[in-house]
Amino acid sequence: MIEWFAYAQIAVALVAGLLAVALGLIGKRPADITMGATALVEVLLIVQIVISLLAPAFGNTATGSTLEFWVYLVSAALLPPLAIVWGLVDRTRWSTAVLGVASLAVAVMVYRMYQIWFVQVA
Amino acid sequence: MTTTTPSRSTGIGRVLIAVYGLLALAATGRSVFQLLDDFDKAPVAYSLSALAAVVYIVATVALIAPGAVWYRVAWITISFELLGVLVVGLLSIFDPILFPAKTVWSGFGAGYGYVPLVLPILGMLWLYRRRPRPVALETAGRTTGTEV
């Protein structure tokens, strides 16, 4: 995990999540902007997977449990695709909110992953 | 008496289902990891975590599946969650030795942004709004003769 990339990833997921929840609540159906933002969150997760696979080879290892880190990362990477499929099947405003919920969850999970990698207290 | 159970997977109920699914995933993921990693550290807390995860999965299914039986299952599982988060929340404050590790329910779900505390309440409000209702009067009147 690279520190600035994790921050950027959390920021993007937060913005994408809040945007989609807001647009969903005012009644917008899933559109390119919300679907695209969720797709971007997924792309960053895939980049994160590559970074985290390669990082230990460069001496950048997790301070916490590697297993726990990967449980978070793999589950996080499953969320945006599920939400996007949901948005394609169910063309209502609530799908837009679901896209937002998925991105917000990714933000929280990346934050937890950040803690496991950099600041393991236990 | 004929009743009809309205669908629970429409409108904002869909967001509720998504959040339930998410919590089910989060609880299952963490609990599988805890059971594999260090079960001996806190057997009570971790077993309860696993039970909570299963209940979240059943609740998610019950919110999606139609019909009166699943409606009752939804009530049972969601009530169980509210009870769980309240009891474990209190216990984790008064008896931290029993709950040394983080579970979905410790500290009233603080580790999950209090979602485990708020969600059952929202779920109950939703279930109440979508409760089974007697078929509208005129329809019922017309069909009385044919019913046993």
User: A27-41 pLDDT, tens per residue?
Assistant: 999 999 999 999 999
| B17 belongs to a structural domain | yes
What token pair was written down for A57? 């080879």
Residue B145 has pLDDT above 50, yes or no: no
**DSSP H/E element including B21:** helix B13-38
Q: Which residues on chain B are in Cβ contact (under 8 Å) with A102?
A: 18, 22
| B65 belongs to a structural domain | yes
Q: Structural domain boundaries of chain A?
A: 3-118
| B109 belongs to a structural domain | yes
DSSP structure string for B35-57: HHHHGGG-HHHHHHHHHHHHHHH
* Residue ranges, chain A, pLDDT below 50: 122
Type of residue at A98: V
Nearest by CB: A94 against B14, B25, B26? B14
CA torsion through residues A9, A62, B25, B41, sign: negative
Q: How far apart are CA B7 and CA B64, in angstroms?
A: 8
What token pair was written down for A8? 């950027």
* Host domain of residue B82: 12-132
CB contact under 8 A, A86 and B18: yes
Q: How many domains does chain B have?
A: 1
> A3-118, which class in CATH?
mainly alpha
CB contact under 8 A, A67 and B12: no
Average pLDDT of the residues of chain B: 82
CB contact under 8 A, A97 and B15: yes
Q: Using one digit for the tens of pLDDT, what is the confidence trace for B46-79?
A: 888 889 899 999 999 999 988 889 999 999 999 9
| B107 belongs to a structural domain | yes
ipTM (interface predicted TM): 0.78
Angle at which helix A66-89 crosses helix A93-118, to 10 degrees, equals: 170
Nearest by CB: B37 against A67, A83, A94? A67
| First CA to last CA distance, chain A | 19
Q: Which residues on chain A are in Cβ contact (under 8 Å) with B33?
A: 65, 67-68, 71
Q: How far apart are CA B53 and CA B32, in angstroms?
A: 9
| B137 belongs to a structural domain | no
* Angstrom distances, CA of residue A54 to CA of A7, A59, A117: 19, 9, 14
| B141 belongs to a structural domain | no
| Best to test chain A binding among B7, B12, B15 (most A CBs inside 10 Å) | B15
**DSSP H/E element including B133:** strand B133-134
pTM as predicted: 0.81
Residue A101 has a pLDDT of 93
Q: Which residue of A has its CA nearest to B100?
A: A122
| B133: β partners | B4
Count, residues in chain B: 148
Q: How far apart are CA A24 and CA A93, in angstroms?
A: 5
Average pLDDT over residues B87-116: 79
